[in-house]
Protein backbone atom coordinates (compact mmCIF):
# COMPACT_ATOMS: atom_id res chain seq x y z
CA UNK A 1 0.00 0.00 0.00
CA UNK A 2 2.77 2.49 0.95
CA UNK A 3 6.29 1.85 -0.32
CA UNK A 4 8.98 4.31 0.68
CA UNK A 5 12.47 3.89 -0.77
CA UNK A 6 15.60 5.90 0.14
CA UNK A 7 13.53 8.98 0.81
CA UNK A 8 15.69 12.04 1.35
CA UNK A 9 14.79 15.62 2.10
CA UNK A 10 17.21 18.50 2.59
CA UNK A 11 16.55 22.17 3.35
CA UNK A 12 18.73 25.23 3.04
CA UNK A 13 19.34 26.71 6.46
CA UNK A 14 21.06 30.05 7.04
CA UNK A 15 22.57 28.91 10.34
CA UNK A 16 23.86 25.45 9.51
CA UNK A 17 23.92 25.44 5.72
CA UNK A 18 22.20 22.38 4.31
CA UNK A 19 19.94 20.67 6.80
CA UNK A 20 19.01 17.02 6.24
CA UNK A 21 15.53 16.28 7.54
CA UNK A 22 15.40 12.77 6.03
CA UNK A 23 18.56 10.86 5.17
CA UNK A 24 17.21 8.18 2.85
CA UNK A 25 14.59 6.22 4.82
CA UNK A 26 12.78 3.14 3.49
CA UNK A 27 9.71 1.31 4.84
CA UNK A 28 6.51 -0.43 3.72
CA UNK A 29 3.03 -0.15 5.23
CA UNK A 30 0.30 -2.62 4.31
CA UNK A 31 -3.55 -2.53 4.33
CA UNK A 32 -5.10 -3.50 7.66
CA UNK A 33 -1.91 -2.42 9.38
CA UNK A 34 -0.95 0.48 11.62
CA UNK A 35 2.57 1.57 10.87
CA UNK A 36 4.09 3.66 13.67
CA UNK A 37 6.73 6.32 13.23
CA UNK A 38 8.31 6.85 16.61
CA UNK A 39 10.88 9.50 17.32
CA UNK A 40 11.79 12.61 19.31
CA UNK A 41 11.05 16.12 18.05
CA UNK A 42 13.08 16.84 14.90
CA UNK A 43 13.43 13.14 14.01
CA UNK A 44 11.87 13.74 10.57
CA UNK A 45 8.45 12.16 11.19
CA UNK A 46 6.41 15.17 10.04
CA UNK A 47 8.64 15.68 6.98
CA UNK A 48 8.10 12.04 5.96
CA UNK A 49 4.33 12.37 6.41
CA UNK A 50 4.23 15.68 4.53
CA UNK A 51 6.00 13.98 1.61
CA UNK A 52 3.47 11.14 1.71
CA UNK A 53 0.64 13.67 1.62
CA UNK A 54 2.38 15.49 -1.34
CA UNK A 55 2.63 18.75 0.56
CA UNK A 56 6.45 18.54 0.25
CA UNK A 57 8.56 17.12 -2.58
CA UNK A 58 11.38 14.72 -1.76
CA UNK A 59 14.93 15.72 -2.66
CA UNK A 60 15.74 12.11 -3.57
CA UNK A 61 14.13 8.68 -3.40
CA UNK A 62 10.57 7.60 -4.05
CA UNK A 63 7.28 7.08 -2.24
CA UNK A 64 4.34 5.21 -3.71
CA UNK A 65 0.89 5.43 -2.10
CA UNK A 66 -1.70 2.87 -3.23
CA UNK A 67 0.11 2.54 -6.55
CA UNK A 68 0.59 6.28 -7.19
CA UNK A 69 3.93 8.04 -7.05
CA UNK A 70 3.97 11.15 -4.83
CA UNK A 71 6.12 13.20 -7.22
CA UNK A 72 4.62 12.07 -10.53
CA UNK A 73 0.95 11.63 -9.58
CA UNK A 74 0.40 13.98 -6.64
CA UNK A 75 -3.29 14.62 -7.36
CA UNK A 76 -4.13 10.90 -7.43
CA UNK A 77 -2.13 10.39 -4.23
CA UNK A 78 -4.14 13.11 -2.48
CA UNK A 79 -7.36 11.26 -3.37
CA UNK A 80 -6.00 8.12 -1.66
CA UNK A 81 -5.18 9.70 1.69
CA UNK A 82 -6.78 11.37 4.67
CA UNK A 83 -4.44 13.55 6.71
CA UNK A 84 -4.95 14.35 10.41
CA UNK A 85 -2.41 16.66 12.01
CA UNK A 86 -1.67 17.46 15.64
CA UNK A 87 -2.97 21.04 15.52
CA UNK A 88 -6.50 19.96 14.39
CA UNK A 89 -6.18 22.41 11.46
CA UNK A 90 -9.84 23.19 10.98
CA UNK A 91 -11.48 26.44 9.95
CA UNK A 92 -12.67 28.35 13.00
CA UNK A 93 -15.35 30.28 11.16
CA UNK A 94 -17.15 27.20 9.79
CA UNK A 95 -19.50 24.79 11.51
CA UNK A 96 -18.45 21.15 11.68
CA UNK A 97 -21.12 20.24 9.12
CA UNK A 98 -20.01 22.95 6.67
CA UNK A 99 -16.36 21.97 7.06
CA UNK A 100 -16.87 18.28 6.41
CA UNK A 101 -19.17 19.05 3.48
CA UNK A 102 -16.58 21.43 2.00
CA UNK A 103 -13.84 18.80 2.03
CA UNK A 104 -16.24 16.16 0.69
CA UNK A 105 -17.03 18.45 -2.22
CA UNK A 106 -13.32 19.10 -2.79
CA UNK A 107 -12.96 15.34 -3.22
CA UNK A 108 -15.70 15.55 -5.84
CA UNK A 109 -18.35 13.61 -3.92
CA UNK A 110 -21.95 14.05 -5.14
CA UNK A 111 -24.06 15.89 -2.54
CA UNK A 112 -26.57 13.09 -1.86
CA UNK A 113 -23.84 10.50 -1.25
CA UNK A 114 -21.86 13.04 0.72
CA UNK A 115 -24.77 13.85 3.02
CA UNK A 116 -25.60 10.22 3.74
CA UNK A 117 -21.93 9.57 4.51
CA UNK A 118 -21.81 12.64 6.71
CA UNK A 119 -24.92 11.58 8.61
CA UNK A 120 -23.38 8.16 9.22
CA UNK A 121 -20.09 9.61 10.45
CA UNK A 122 -21.76 12.25 12.62
CA UNK A 123 -23.85 9.50 14.22
CA UNK A 124 -20.86 7.23 14.71
CA UNK A 125 -18.74 9.96 16.36
CA UNK A 126 -21.75 11.38 18.27
CA UNK A 127 -21.28 14.76 16.68
CA UNK A 128 -24.89 15.64 15.89
CA UNK A 129 -25.01 18.08 18.79
CA UNK A 130 -22.17 20.11 17.39
CA UNK A 131 -23.03 19.96 13.70
CA UNK A 132 -24.15 23.63 13.64
CA UNK A 133 -21.59 24.90 16.12
CA UNK A 134 -18.74 27.05 14.84
CA UNK A 135 -15.41 25.27 15.22
CA UNK A 136 -13.99 28.24 17.14
CA UNK A 137 -16.48 27.47 19.91
CA UNK A 138 -15.43 23.79 20.24
CA UNK A 139 -13.02 22.15 22.66
CA UNK A 140 -9.74 20.69 21.32
CA UNK A 141 -11.17 17.16 21.58
CA UNK A 142 -14.23 18.08 19.55
CA UNK A 143 -12.05 19.80 16.98
CA UNK A 144 -9.91 16.69 16.61
CA UNK A 145 -13.06 14.59 16.10
CA UNK A 146 -14.14 16.97 13.33
CA UNK A 147 -10.66 16.71 11.86
CA UNK A 148 -10.83 12.90 11.80
CA UNK A 149 -14.29 12.92 10.19
CA UNK A 150 -12.97 15.41 7.65
CA UNK A 151 -10.08 13.05 6.82
CA UNK A 152 -12.42 10.03 6.54
CA UNK A 153 -15.21 11.61 4.52
CA UNK A 154 -14.01 10.37 1.11
CA UNK A 155 -13.31 6.89 2.51
CA UNK A 156 -9.58 6.90 1.70
CA UNK A 157 -7.63 3.61 1.73
CA UNK A 158 -4.73 5.37 3.52
CA UNK A 159 -4.94 7.50 6.66
CA UNK A 160 -2.06 9.53 8.03
CA UNK A 161 -2.13 10.61 11.69
CA UNK A 162 0.61 13.08 12.59
CA UNK A 163 0.80 13.12 16.42
CA UNK A 164 -2.99 13.18 16.41
CA UNK A 165 -3.35 12.72 20.19
CA UNK A 166 -0.95 15.51 21.09
CA UNK A 167 -2.58 17.97 23.47
CA UNK A 168 -5.74 15.92 23.97
CA UNK A 169 -7.06 14.85 27.35
CA UNK A 170 -6.92 11.16 28.18
CA UNK A 171 -10.59 10.49 27.37
CA UNK A 172 -10.49 12.07 23.93
CA UNK A 173 -7.10 10.52 23.22
CA UNK A 174 -8.48 7.06 24.00
CA UNK A 175 -11.40 7.72 21.70
CA UNK A 176 -9.04 8.73 18.89
CA UNK A 177 -6.95 5.60 19.40
CA UNK A 178 -10.10 3.48 19.39
CA UNK A 179 -11.10 5.04 16.08
CA UNK A 180 -7.69 4.33 14.61
CA UNK A 181 -8.02 0.67 15.66
CA UNK A 182 -11.48 0.45 14.08
CA UNK A 183 -10.12 1.92 10.84
CA UNK A 184 -7.33 -0.64 10.83
CA UNK A 185 -9.94 -3.36 11.31
CA UNK A 186 -11.78 -2.02 8.27
CA UNK A 187 -8.65 -2.74 6.22
CA UNK A 188 -7.26 0.77 6.01
CA UNK A 189 -3.54 1.36 5.82
CA UNK A 190 -2.60 3.72 8.65
CA UNK A 191 0.59 5.62 9.26
CA UNK A 192 0.66 6.87 12.82
CA UNK A 193 3.42 9.14 14.11
CA UNK A 194 3.88 9.72 17.81
CA UNK A 195 6.42 10.16 20.57
CA UNK A 196 4.17 8.50 23.19
CA UNK A 197 5.47 4.95 23.74
CA UNK A 198 2.31 3.48 25.29
CA UNK A 199 0.21 4.49 22.27
CA UNK A 200 2.64 3.00 19.81
CA UNK A 201 2.97 -0.23 21.78
CA UNK A 202 -0.80 -0.57 22.02
CA UNK A 203 -1.66 0.34 18.45
CA UNK A 204 1.09 -0.33 15.97
CA UNK A 205 1.62 -3.52 14.04
CA UNK A 206 5.00 -2.32 12.85
CA UNK A 207 7.19 0.45 14.21
CA UNK A 208 10.07 2.51 12.85
CA UNK A 209 12.15 4.29 15.49
CA UNK A 210 13.63 7.45 13.97
CA UNK A 211 16.24 9.98 14.99
CA UNK A 212 17.75 12.84 12.95
CA UNK A 213 16.20 11.65 9.69
CA UNK A 214 17.38 8.05 10.01
CA UNK A 215 15.43 4.87 10.91
CA UNK A 216 17.34 3.29 13.80
CA UNK A 217 15.20 0.18 14.12
CA UNK A 218 12.20 -1.23 12.28
CA UNK A 219 9.87 -4.18 12.82
CA UNK A 220 6.95 -5.44 14.92
CA UNK A 221 7.07 -4.39 18.59
CA UNK A 222 7.65 -8.04 19.55
CA UNK A 223 10.45 -8.40 17.02
CA UNK A 224 12.14 -5.21 18.26
CA UNK A 225 11.86 -6.38 21.89
CA UNK A 226 13.42 -9.68 21.02
CA UNK A 227 16.16 -8.24 18.86
CA UNK A 228 17.24 -5.64 21.41
CA UNK A 229 16.49 -7.80 24.48
CA UNK A 230 14.25 -5.12 25.90
CA UNK A 231 10.53 -5.60 26.60
CA UNK A 232 9.91 -2.05 27.77
CA UNK A 233 9.27 0.03 24.63
CA UNK A 234 10.16 3.29 26.37
CA UNK A 235 13.47 1.89 27.57
CA UNK A 236 14.21 0.50 24.11
CA UNK A 237 13.46 3.87 22.56
CA UNK A 238 15.71 5.65 25.07
CA UNK A 239 18.58 3.21 24.50
CA UNK A 240 18.40 3.52 20.71
CA UNK A 241 18.24 7.30 20.73
CA UNK A 242 21.07 7.60 23.29
CA UNK A 243 23.25 5.23 21.28
CA UNK A 244 22.50 7.16 18.08
CA UNK A 245 23.34 10.51 19.71
CA UNK A 246 26.56 9.10 21.19
CA UNK A 247 27.56 7.72 17.78
CA UNK A 248 26.90 11.07 16.12
CA UNK A 249 29.00 12.87 18.73
CA UNK A 250 31.84 10.37 18.25
CA UNK A 251 31.66 10.80 14.45
CA UNK A 252 31.79 14.56 14.87
CA UNK A 253 34.88 14.36 17.12
CA UNK A 254 36.58 11.96 14.74
CA UNK A 255 35.92 14.29 11.83
CA UNK A 256 37.40 17.17 13.81
CA UNK A 257 40.55 15.23 14.65
CA UNK A 258 40.98 14.16 11.03
CA UNK A 259 40.53 17.77 9.90
CA UNK A 260 43.15 19.01 12.40
CA UNK A 261 45.65 16.33 11.39
CA UNK A 262 45.30 17.02 7.68
CA UNK A 263 45.31 20.80 8.07
CA UNK A 264 48.51 22.51 6.70
CA UNK A 265 49.04 24.24 10.06
CA UNK A 266 49.48 20.85 11.75
CA UNK A 267 52.72 20.36 9.85
Partner 1 sequence: MNWPTIKLIFRRELRDQLRDRRTLFTVAILPMLLYPLMGMAMMQVAQFMRESPSRVWIVGEEKLPASPPLIVSGKFNPTFGSAESQLIELISSTAGDGHFESLIKSATSSAGDSSSVEEILRLEMQKRKMDLAIFIPNPIEIPERPDSLIESEANNPQSSPATQVFVLTDSAIDKSRIASERVNRILNQWSKEFSKETLVANEIPTSMIQGVVFTTGDVANKTGKQAAAWSKILPFIIMIWSLTGAFYPAIDLCAGEKERGTFETLLSSPAARSEIAFGKLLTVMTFSMATSFLNLLSMGFTGIFVLTKLGNGMGAGGALPIGIPPLASIGWLLLALIPISALFSAVALAAAAFARSSKEGQYYLVPLLMISMPLMMIPMLPSAELDFGTSLIPVSGLMLLLRSLIEANYTDCLKYAAPVCAINLGCCWLAVRWVIHQFNSETVLFRASERFGIGAWIKHIMRERRSLPSLGSAVLCGVVILVAKFFIGFAVTAPQNFGQFAFQTVIILVATIFIPSVMMALFLTRNPRKSLRLNGCKITMAAAAVLAAIFLNPAFTWLTGFIMHIYPPSGDILMLQEAVSRILGSAPGLWAIILVFALAPAVFEEIAFRGFILSGFQSIQGKWKPILLTSLMFGLAHGIIQQTLITFVIGLVLGLIAIQTKSILPCILFHLTHNSLAVLLSQANRTVVEQSPVLRQYLYSTDGQNYQYATFPAILMTVVGVMLIIWFLQLDTKPSNRSVAYGQVPNLN
7 binds partner 1 (CB under 8 A): no
CA distances to 67, 101, 113, 130, 159 from 110, in Å: 25, 10, 6, 23, 22
Query: Is 67 or 226 the residue whose CB approaches partner 1 more closely?
Result: 67
CA pseudo-torsion sign 43, 80, 140, 55? positive
165 binds partner 1 (CB under 8 A): no
| In the complex, least distance from residue 176 CB atom to partner 1, rounded to whole angstroms | 17
Q: How far apart are CA 174 and CA 170, in angstroms?
A: 6
In this chain, which of 37, 38, 63, 90 binds partner 1, going by CB under 8 A?
A: 90
In this chain, which of 12, 229, 262, 263 binds partner 1, going by CB under 8 A?
A: 12
# of chain residues touching partner 1 (CB under 8 A):
36
How many other CB atoms are there within 10 angstroms of residue 67's CB atom? 12
Contact 43, 213 (CB under 8 A): yes
Contact 125, 18 (CB under 8 A): no
**CA 208 from centroid of its chain's CA atoms:** 11
Write out the binding residues for partner 1, residues 42-81 only, by CB under 8 A: 50, 53-57, 74-75, 78-79, 81
x/- binding map, residues 136-155, to partner 1, per CB under 8 A? --------------x-----
Where do contacts with partner 1 occur on this chain (CB under 8 A)?
A: 11-15, 17, 50, 53-57, 74-75, 78-79, 81, 83, 85, 87-94, 98, 102-103, 105-108, 134, 150
Amino acid sequence: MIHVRKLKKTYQDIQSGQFTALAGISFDAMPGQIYGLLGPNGAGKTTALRILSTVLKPTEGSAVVNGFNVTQQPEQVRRQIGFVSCNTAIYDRMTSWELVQYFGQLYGMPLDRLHSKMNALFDRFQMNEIRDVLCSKMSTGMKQKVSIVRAMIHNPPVLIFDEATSGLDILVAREVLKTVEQLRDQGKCIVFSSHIMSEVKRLCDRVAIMNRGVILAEGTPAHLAEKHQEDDMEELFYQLISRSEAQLEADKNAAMVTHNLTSPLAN
